[in-house]
Structure 1
Amino acid sequence: MQALLALPLPLRLALVFVVAAVLASLANAAIYHFAWRRRLRSPWQPVPEGVASRTWFDCLPIVGWWQLRRESTIHGPGHWVRPMLIELLFPLGIAWLYWWETEAFGLLAEQVPGQFGKLDSTPLVGIVHIEFFAHAMLAWFMLIATFIDADDRIIPDTVTVPGTLLGLVLATLAPMALLPQITNTPVAPIVGVPLTTRGGAPVDLYLEPVHLAAASPWPAELLAPAPNVYSLLIALGCYWLWCFAFVRRRWLARRGFGRAVQYFFVRIVRDWWTVPLREVTAIGTVLVTLVWWWGGGAWVGLLSSLVGLVGAGGVVWLIRIFAGAALRREAMGFGDVLLMMMIGTLIGWQAGVIVFFAAPFAALVYGLVQLIARRDNELPYGPFLCAATVLVIVRWGAIWLWIQTAFMVPWLVPAVLVVCLVLCGAILSVYQAAKDRLLGPQQAR
């Protein structure tokens, strides 16, 4: 870290750009690997028949796609434009994010308007770099998920599962990788950092992660580590729910309720006992228990991350249920739920709720425009979740300053969620009616 900080800012930005460009190139390879009809476009894939062999120069980020224009006769004109833009715009965005988070302290300064310039930022440098690393990693996984979903209406588990596990590990090893909050009192003193002025004078401000109880104090009497078994049960319940999301849950009622219940649970047990879900469940259970026994900041980070996983993914799961009822068919794939669970490990359930408010309405507006302009009734939801997440992360300082008091009222968030779910169902019903009118009842489904 010290070697990196010793470099001039322009050189650091250039280094971030180069690393992000390489990652964007690997993201393109993953995107085209899952896009079966277009998989041979990537220079990391086998060479298509009828074209010249690819060289190492073709694998270079950005410029390699300019070279691959020669394959337009195979893939079609302009096939190189989108992947080249991905490898150009993603590193530009990550380099800007690095400046915003580590130089401008964008996630922190807006939480104490007019006061941050007086604070000593030296102890914060390492923390904001950890936050940047977490958000850049999350952005990379979301980049892959966005374009696979846009191309093929699917979000593979091979994207969301590694992203989720890495998010949990990062939150455990570095709890400050979670979104930050500046408070007047230490609400999670185990991982909090007291702030001082540039002259070294203490101030009544503390930098802490947005833990599972934020913006209220950490409920130590309920969620303390070992030997308090209640906190372990909460953590394991969250982790097992994530594992449960991968089993097949079919309800066959045609043979009666008793048979339906029997078949339902037999299928769940059978799927849960298959490789690798069995191993992921067992190993994860042991590791969660060990962190619980260890306690400290690692437990604060892991428990907050697990609750964020369930809280953020749960609201999308509810949208899926309500949307399915409103549209009278499956409204979105379960990959969207798993995607939001991955996102929730690093942004927490509070930010996940905010993403929940932003993404569905943007998707509906886009869907109506697409329906009217192109008569296309298929809408990938993953890109809107990712776009809303990026917006929430970048504007987190201002968003949290404005909305944190709402999370201090125990009944307010659930009440708003219920109202929004009802509104979501009503809006989707109107959307379905518009589809029936424009496309006809059969084509609209």
Structure 2
Amino acid sequence: MEKLPIPREEQFKGGAHGERVTARIGSLLGLAFLICFVTGLLSHLIQHPPEWFFWPSRPVWLYRLTQGAHVISGIAAIPLLLAKLWSVFPKLFERPLVKSLPHALERVSILVLSGSAFFELSSGLLNVAQNYPWNFYFPEVHYAVAWVAIGSVVVHVAVKLPIVRRALTRETVPEEQPDTKSAAQPEEQPAKKAEKKPVYGFTRRGFLRTTWIATGVAVLSTAGATVPWLKDVSGLSWKTDKGLQKLPVNRTAVAARVTRTAVDPNWRLSVVTRGGTKQFTLADLRVLPQVSADLPIACVEGWSQMASWRGISFPTLLRAVGAEPGAQVRVSSLDKTGLYGASTLPGEHTADDLTLLALELNGEVLDVDHGYPCRVIAPSRPGVLQTKWVEKLEVL
């Protein structure tokens, strides 16, 4: 078999490999990475808040917006990253491979950037699908590698900024037109035919147009999980309102092993304050003043769904046990096997009348998979912190 020759960098003459194309795609990819990093950092801080961090309870859709932007920008970055890598693909055949120590360091930094970017986008996509083919704790590793990725992006942009600036500010170069001369005119041909070298690539406009279309399709096919008015056109939207009580369920009562304890007639809610512990039966909770609120469940996977909730507001509940609204409250669940069996409500939320200990969902008593006998639903909070199957509240 004849061995195919290894292509050389100069053979890739298509417009898809020019500086201008790389700069334009790279600019959008950098923006997508920045949005993804900032919104992901916010989600991490909400779930693991340091003392200085503050997250408001209003508007109620704020976390829905930021986490939706996190997932959508991550999905948009996938075709953009592939296009960016193809635009610089000829650099793989650059000779010599290493020209100097700075050149070697630049190539290593690009390898780190590519590897961390691929890991972040692929693992994030699998998290969206709730598919975890690994043994590590996803949020922790995803968060750590995000810093490597964004650091690599900053270094890469700093090194390439003069090239990017030159590529984006210069006049547009007309695309090369194919030779229209007929091969049937021997008198116009040179006496000796020059050896033709193969040319690999697409036109600049065609490549950019394909990239924008692929990115748009990727976003539109998935964004309906977060953006309600895109639901009907998002064929790959991974969550719908066709779940129990018109709301999806991530963790069922069976998975949490609470199918018996949650429906036990001897269940009691314990509320612990400095003055002691007070217990409530489900009937006791139903006697307290009830309020209704339309609030979204917004999950870290990017999907969100608005629902109607009814229950006791936390300010009302805290006053009923002699505590002041605005105190931090630790919430514990009957779920003892999961990673999110407890959460802490900050004072901003316990002082908000829209933070509920919910007893009903969409006009019905909570289904056991949705947290029966009661659950927390608070505005502008990640779904993993909306603790289900509540058994104890501790006023801190």
Mark yes or no: TM-score above 0.5: no
Q: Kindly indicate whether structure 1 or structure 2 has the higher relative contact order, using CA contacts under 8 Å at least 6 residues apart.
A: 2
Higher CA-based Rg: 2
More helix by share: 1
User: What TM-score comes out, normalization by structure 1 length?
Assistant: 0.20
More strand by share: 2
User: What TM-score comes out, normalization by structure 2 length?
Assistant: 0.22
